[in-house]
Amino acid sequence: ISLYTRRCSREVQLNSPNAGMAEFQEKLRLQHENSMLTELEKLLITAKPSEAEISRKDFEGFKKLFHRFLQEKGPSVDWAKIQRPPEDSIQPYEKIELKGLPADVASSLNKLAVVKLNGGLGTSMGCKGPKSLISVRNENTFLDLTVQQIEHLNKSYNADVPLVLMNSFNTDEDTKKILQKYTHHRVKIHTFNQSRYPRISKESLLPVATNMGLTAENEEAWYPPGHGDIYASFYNSGLLDNQPSDKRCEFVMEVTDKTRADVKGGTLTQYDGKLRLLEIAQVPKAHVDEFKSVTKFKIFNTNNLWISLPAIKRLHEKNAMDMEIIVNPKTLDGGLNVIQLETAVGAAMKSFDNALGINVPRSRFLPVKTTSDLLLVMSNLYSMNAGSLTMSPKREFPTTPHVKLGSSFTKVRDFLKRFESIPDMLELDHLTVSGDVTFGKQVTLKGTVIIIANHGDRIDIPAGAMLENKIVSGNLRILDH
């Protein structure tokens, strides 16, 4: 295609550079689109009869995304149009807290459904299977904590808040097996599956899959298309019709104050008169540093969202859910370069009526994407009560320590082997660990601690050691920091 493109473009340019090029690019776009439609039909023929209808619905969503991908070029925002959001469009959490609880809490809670994204695998931390099944505290997994939180809510207020899990083809089977253990808990649990989209070759812009199967050689050919897929998948599942309905503000996004560790997180702006989520992928290269600035954009999106279910239904049926495309390049195990077309759930904010941001305290945002994050939530920095983790009252300042564990700790299995027990971190500000380092039992870390084992060296922090403002280097010398 690339040779054909170059030859044709030269011929067209000889006639009328602009008009000819536009016409040629339109023909090329149509050719890519038609080739894609042909390949998708071939794939559908290979689907099992029980899965054919679901796959066809998935492909309808993918076709729309692919069509837009071929038409859109460059960043999707005009930087000059970006304004700070109006003061009243981002409300402080404290203002809501002061209002107190309504007289009948149960009737308010019975309008609520908790939806958790459960499509991800813990691959970045070296795990197989759903990330939600990683143990966090006392053998409790992320899923256990979620169920405990909602069960506590239902028991405390005599309510019936359901838990809805959006699984993916990667996590559905394992999750359904584990859900049997919650049969006697006071939480109704529903599941539905995210769409399954084909990864496409960067060169040919065609699917790399040869059939609809998920066998070993075909497994890498498919992907769940980002959390923005929740709207279409939730609608297609039929679950939306079973959920409680209410009007008013249709979309609330919890945001929190940016720190220097959060510079890549999406932020809220005013754009064309609407509150809008701005992601780093949409920012023109010349303005990326400005976007990362903590002074200009002071808050970022935590992805804790409160969304009206009837509004989701209305917008989906009108095909009015407007989300920017995220092009995510990947390299498969065999070296093939592919692209995944994705969307982000928060990007649909501008499609809803009366959207609002709530600036919440950092305590409501506790992401675990790496083993460095996992170390924090497993430590005595947090107390656990009814599935909720809260900062220990024994910690004298409310910020979390900055933890950077090296590549020897990336996989959960290796991480657990390197800690005989999780250190006391109540007075820790900063921890950097690099190289072959292990920690004995009951180690205490305070202030700034940097431990660096040079290549070929190994550092064993002895049981009961107390390191406060120390640098431990490859030759095991301990120096004051």
Q: What is the CATH number of the domain that holds 395?
A: 2.160.10.10
| Residue 13 domain-assigned (yes or no) | no
Q: Are residues 236 and 359 in the same domain?
A: yes
Q: Are residues 439 and 358 in the same domain?
A: no
Q: Which residues are catalytic?
A: 369
Is residue 179 classed as helix, strand or coil in its secondary structure? helix
Q: How many residues does the chain have?
A: 481
State the pLDDT at residue 414.
93
Question: What CA–CA distance (Å, rounded) separates 329 from 144?
Answer: 33
| Residue 11 domain-assigned (yes or no) | no
Q: Are residues 94 and 126 in the same domain?
A: yes
**Number of domains within the chain:** 2
Listed residues 364, 395, 426: the one ending a domain: 364
| Residue 318 domain-assigned (yes or no) | yes
> Average pLDDT of the chain?
87
Residue 167 is inside which H or E element, if any? strand 163-167
Q: Are residues 213 and 299 in the same domain?
A: yes
R_g over Cα of the chain:
25
Q: Are residues 86 and 234 in the same domain?
A: yes
Q: Are residues 196 and 303 in the same domain?
A: yes
Q: Which residues, in sequence order, are CB contacts of 377 under 8 Å at separation 6+?
A: 136, 137, 366, 368, 389
Listed residues 364, 398, 416: the one ending a domain: 364
Listed residues 364, 388, 421: the one ending a domain: 364
Q: Is 394 left (phi over 0), alpha (psi -120 to 50) or beta?
A: alpha
| Residue 127 domain-assigned (yes or no) | yes
The structure tokens 């069509």 sit at: 67
Q: Are residues 341 and 444 in the same domain?
A: no
Evaluate whether 154 touches 182 at the Cβ level (below 8 Å).
Answer: no
> Tens of pLDDT along the chain (481 residues)?
333 333 333 334 445 566 778 888 889 999 999 999 999 999 999 999 999 999 999 999 999 999 999 987 766 688 889 988 888 899 999 998 898 888 899 999 999 999 999 988 777 777 777 889 888 888 899 999 999 999 999 999 999 999 999 999 889 999 999 999 999 999 999 999 999 999 999 999 999 999 999 887 788 899 999 899 999 999 989 888 776 555 578 999 999 988 776 777 889 998 888 889 988 878 888 888 888 887 788 889 999 999 999 999 999 999 999 888 888 899 988 889 999 999 989 999 999 998 999 999 888 888 888 999 999 999 999 998 898 888 899 998 878 899 999 999 999 999 999 999 999 999 999 999 999 999 999 999 999 999 999 888 899 999 999 999 999 887 565 555 5
| Residue 201 domain-assigned (yes or no) | yes
**CATH number of residue 166's parent domain:** 3.90.550.10
Question: What CA–CA distance (Å, rounded) separates 464 from 402?
Answer: 22
Question: What CA–CA distance (Å, rounded) separates 305 from 87?
Answer: 20
Q: Are residues 130 and 150 in the same domain?
A: yes
Residue 227, annotated as binding a ligand = yes
Amino acid at 86: P
State the pLDDT at residue 263.
74
| Residue 65 domain-assigned (yes or no) | no
Residues 434, 436, 440, 444: what is their CA dihedral angle, to the nearest 10 degrees? -10
Q: Are residues 342 and 395 in the same domain?
A: no
Is residue 192 classed as helix, strand or coil in its secondary structure? strand
Q: What pTM does this model have?
A: 0.82
Amino acid at 155: K
Among residues 208, 169, 173, the alpha carbon closest in space to that of 340 is found at 208
Question: What CA–CA distance (Å, rounded) separates 279 from 268?
Answer: 9
State the pLDDT at residue 87.
82
Q: Are residues 355 and 404 in the same domain?
A: no
Owning domain of residue 202? 79-364
Question: What CA–CA distance (Å, rounded) separates 358 from 253?
Answer: 6
Q: Are residues 277 and 356 in the same domain?
A: yes
Structure tokens at 247: 């009007």
> Could you count the other beta carbons within 10 Å of the beta carbon of residue 194?
26
| Residue 25 domain-assigned (yes or no) | no
> Could you count the other beta carbons within 10 Å of the beta carbon of residue 403?
22
Is residue 209 classed as helix, strand or coil in its secondary structure? coil
Among residues 125, 117, 114, the alpha carbon closest in space to that of 368 is found at 125
Q: Are residues 106 and 248 in the same domain?
A: yes
State the pLDDT at residue 75.
63
The structure tokens 């040629």 sit at: 24
| Residue 36 domain-assigned (yes or no) | no
Q: Which residues, in sequence order, are CB contacts of 6 under 8 Å at separation 6+?
A: none
Question: What CA–CA distance (Å, rounded) separates 461 from 437?
Answer: 8
Cα distances (Å, whole numbers) of residue 342 to 62, 66, 204, 328, 463: 9, 10, 19, 7, 47
